[in-house]
Amino acid sequence: MASYYSFKATDYTWHKDKDLYVIDNDFTISLKDSNGNERSYLIKSGFKTDGGSIPSVFQWFAPSWKDDDNQYNACFILHDGLYGSELEDRSTADDMLRSSLRDTGMNRFHASTICWAVNWFACCHYGKKHAKHDEYLYIANGVNYGPETEDQIQK
């Protein structure tokens, strides 16, 4: 398991569309790996997410979305984007989720429990484009994935 720290998302706005959250403007999420290398991911306007995908019966334990905490929400935005894009392998995406939740103030038990649940219930979504994320991917590490680069996605 790798270690990531210094999780930070630049300012962004969002709006609700039925049961999804839609990102209104491009923003960047960055974090550092255990070697001190910074990784940055561009989240494009239009990206859709359901947040943490946490069932309502468990919202007392950890909410899927916090209307007043964009740093917390960005943890799940990044994880959704990484799962859909395969830009990072599944293990790395899960480690980034756990570490970013810790950086936003969540205790180790809660963050690890969320990642355990992801390993059990969300693992089948890794690498699959999902309707909730639109037809195109809106996350990149130095590459702009979107409708204008569809041929790159197909390769």
Using DSSP's 3-state secondary structure scheme, residue 77 falls into helix
Would you give the DSSP letter of residue 31? E
Dump pLDDT digits (tens) for 120-145: 776 555 555 554 444 434 444 444 44
Domain count, the chain: 1
- When the pLDDT of each residue in the chain is averaged and rounded to a whole number, the result is 79
Dump pLDDT digits (tens) for 38-84: 888 888 888 888 898 888 898 899 999 999 999 999 999 998 888 88
Residues 6+ apart with CB under 8 A from 127: 83, 84, 86
Structure-token pair, residue 118: 């992801």
* Full residue range of the structural domain in which residue 9 is found: 4-154
